[in-house]
Amino acid sequence: MIKRGVVSVQGLSCFGRHGVLRHEQIVPQEFVVDLELELNLASAIEFDSVDATVDYSKACRVAVEVIESNSFSLIETLAHTIGVTLIAEFASVDRVMVKVQKVAPPMQFHIASISVSLAVERGK
């Protein structure tokens, strides 16, 4: 029996240098990331083993590494890079949903955050 499921991470906060404006690529800003990693959880359930699922601590490290070690103009590119990197890192994951929020973006309006959500699927 196939047991499809999602391992989720919400509210992963870290700092990166992403944005269209020059100073956004120099001064780190806060980003908050939500992840949904879809996979077959049958073996994880049967064997009660982290080796049969996604180690969410490792998934967080991967996302933070992408955010901290790159500089993109668009958070669309950032979200896609996180998704592609997670798909490459975890062979058991079929689909990753990534939401990236830029907290307090530098704008003329008072905005708590802006965000982009996208899905990356294995083989697509």
| pLDDT, tens digit (0-9, with 9 covering 90-100), for 12-21 | 999 999 999 9
Q: What is the mean pLDDT of the chain?
A: 94
Query: Which amino acid type is present at position 81?
Result: T
pTM for the whole thing? Answer: 0.94
All domains in the chain, ordered by first residue:
4-121 (3.30.1130.10)
Express each pLDDT in 37-86 by its tens digit.
Answer: 999 999 998 999 988 999 999 999 999 999 999 999 999 999 999 999 99
The token pair that represents 94 in the structure block? 């079929």
